[in-house]
Structure 1
Amino acid sequence: MARSDEFGDPVELEAGGRVVAITNPGKVMFPSVGPGKEERTKLDLARYYLEVGEPLMRTLSDRAVLLERYPNGVRGTSFFQKRIPDSAPGWLTTTTVQTINGTASRALVISDLAHVLWAANQGVLGLHVWQFRATHPEEADELRIDLDPSPGVTFEMTREAAGFTRDLLAELGMVGFPKTTGSKGIHVYVRVEPGWDSFAIRGAVVALGRELARRHPDLITDRWWKEERGERVFVDFNQNAPHKNMFGAWGARPRVGAQVSTPFGWDELDSIDPEVLTIDTVPARVAERGDPWELMDDAECSIAPLVERFAADLADGVPDPPWPPQYPKMPNEAPRVQPSRARRPD
């Protein structure tokens, strides 16, 4: 069995008014980062989060997270951890989250930066964030537009789809805040005014995706089944389904180059390159440009126009598109079977 000091003696870091010990600080988490493709360690990851702590906490504070753990770095095995064990430090803030089938779990709540460092010390390379605040679990306050490129779609096409998304949101009196996914997609977030739940927000994104696909049919699709998408950008409305979570802003992705899911300004849309946004480069961006999401909490939007469009479609006989397979059958839902396998009428 490996000794606790195999990768160096623990290093203590101060965050959130606490001292957090980073054990095995020299353990390599990312094997190929930066111009010379140097290795980056667990301690490097923890220090990165300290450098971006202010914008990170602005988006993560009071939110429950699902942990994606890579105890031996990105080239090792990984697993998702929703339940925080009783053996965890007593100062950790937790909350109870429910899966769609009613299973309860004790999840971590990011109440200060020390919680992020604790997670980093567990080998977490992915904080997947719920769309509600732990203090108000009955309401969802984030509408999340996942622009997911199908095979064959270039990042330039995804950029173009993001621009069309921004424009449609503006028409509806809504403000979108984009970020890279840390890979090939783009996420656009909207801060939602109080009073809505995940069901309503999902319906709003269904309506938004339908309108984007109607206006730009060669570029954007709202088709749930992969066989129908073609080489187009898919608006993944089901990322807003109740109990869903999404990779958080400023988080380091489990990629060998330590790419970061990075918020950016719309003025950067044509030039943003997700491959160069890493734990090495993002802190300097923040120091130079500030936080592009700084004003998100001041930009609460009504989703009523989109909710009304979704309701009007149902009234006209347009079914709710399929939900993810682990969800129970929903009212007004289209058949949950891919078209090529659907039984044809005699």
Structure 2
Amino acid sequence: MAGGDAEVLDVAGHEVRITSPGKVFFPERGETKLDLARYYLAVAEPLMAAMGGRPVLLQRFPNGATGSSFFQKRVSPTKADPWLTTTRVSTPNGTVSDALVAVDLAHVLWAVNMGCLGFHVWPNTAADPGHADELRIDLDPSPGVTFPMIREAAAETKALLDSLGIASHPKTTGSRGIHVYVRLEPRWDGYQVRAAAVAAARELERRRPELVTAAWWKEERGSRVFIDFNQNAPHKTVFGAWSVRANPHAQVSAPFGWDELATIEPRELTLATVPTRVREQGDPWAAMAPQSLEPLLALSERDLAAGLMDAPWPPVYPKMPNEPPRVAPSRARKDTP
């Protein structure tokens, strides 16, 4: 329903206003704010299966994908939208805020109207903040890394997890990388999930040291695929499945099947093409089910027993037990008398 300079969508029992629906959000393609809203309507079922009930961090682009942006951590319902659901979340330094919860598609479209193109999603549900129920293995392309190398690293990741009896599910990042997800039983906190991610990264580096690195310091990575284990640090959000990136191509962080790994092309997975994929192929993550983290935690315990220290944490986190010095190796050498 249109009214003035707004389109009113009846979604999940709520009327959501899309103001300035004709505002162009992707100038190179001509797609508008309303096109973005219709995209999320088209992928509603798999989108909500992936992030329904989770807190989300909003990155708002008031003037579209090519404009400036800012992160919005706090959301407050108003008289216009009293139905909005929020939950209390905290950052590593203890700052708390009320984050939007992706309860249903009405909440998603409310955020789209605020200029949110895609969603940075928490690894826990709002109903159970103490347990991270997703392991997210981020295959990060360092300079010089090609997408065929990312594909190869993803295959190695699958092989490792398969050998441990863990089913995994890939998605493109909406840029140049791949994320591999494992849905977990809600039994472990973010510290334990990160420990499992560190163990996976180190094991992958042992298996393919010429291709994969677990080195936190960029100067040590070379032209290898970095397994960014710190994407699993507590309170860390990751760009969500089915979310649209703020790039000229309107690329989607799109789940896909492992049988597509050799042929998947991130540039082809866009706001315009992904709804057709979903309509024709369904949800590639439909079989995702909760699993045990114990096999990876056993690898972590093995590494610690062998004398390995914890991997470095990002600088915004407090110093952790068994963590090595937070100084780049080249800097440490210069500081040594």
- Distance in 2 separating the partners of 1:301 and 1:227: 35
CA RMSD of aligned residues (A): 1.3
Equivalences for residues 1-346 of structure 1 within 5 A: 9-33=5-29, 39-87=30-78, 89-296=81-288, 299-343=289-333, 345-346=336-337
SS of residue in 1 equivalent to 2:129: coil
Work out whether residues 70 and 125 of structure 1, in 8 Å CA contact, stay in contact via their aligned partners in 2.
Answer: yes
Q: CA deviation at 1:193?
A: 1.5
Q: Deviations over 1:271-319 (max 9, x none)?
A: 00000111100000001110001111xx322111211221232232211
TM-score, normalised via structure 1 length: 0.94
SS of residue in 2 equivalent to 1:280: coil
Work out whether residues 146 and 188 of structure 1, in 8 Å CA contact, stay in contact via their aligned partners in 2.
Answer: yes
Amino acid corresponding to residue 65 of structure 2 in structure 1: V
- Distance in 2 separating the partners of 1:164 and 1:191: 19
Moved more, 86-95 or 118-127: 86-95
Q: Deviations over 1:34-57 (max 9, x none)?
A: xxxxx0000000000000001101
Q: Deviations over 1:150-207 (max 9, x none)?
A: 0111101000100110111000000110000011000000011221111011000100
Work out whether residues 314 and 332 of structure 1, in 8 Å CA contact, stay in contact via their aligned partners in 2.
Answer: no
Between Structure 1 and Structure 2, how many residues are aligned?
Answer: 333
TM-score, normalised via structure 2 length: 0.96
- Distance in 1 separating the partners of 2:74 and 2:129: 17
Work out whether residues 65 and 130 of structure 1, in 8 Å CA contact, stay in contact via their aligned partners in 2.
Answer: yes
- Distance in 2 separating the partners of 1:178 and 1:72: 31
- Distance in 2 separating the partners of 1:143 and 1:89: 33
Q: CA deviation at 1:13?
A: 1.2
Work out whether residues 36 and 117 of structure 2, in 8 Å CA contact, stay in contact via their aligned partners in 1.
Answer: no
Work out whether residues 253 and 259 of structure 1, in 8 Å CA contact, stay in contact via their aligned partners in 2.
Answer: yes
- Distance in 1 separating the partners of 2:53 and 2:255: 19
Q: Deviations over 1:295-346 (max 9, x none)?
A: 11xx322111211221232232211010001000000001110111014644
Work out whether residues 77 and 84 of structure 2, in 8 Å CA contact, stay in contact via their aligned partners in 1.
Answer: no
- Distance in 2 separating the partners of 1:234 and 1:214: 13
SS of residue in 2 equivalent to 1:195: coil
Q: Deviations over 1:242-291 (max 9, x none)?
A: 00000000001011111100000000000000001111000000011100
Q: Deviations over 1:89-136 (max 9, x none)?
A: 210010000111111100000000000000000000221000000011
- Distance in 2 separating the partners of 1:252 and 1:219: 29
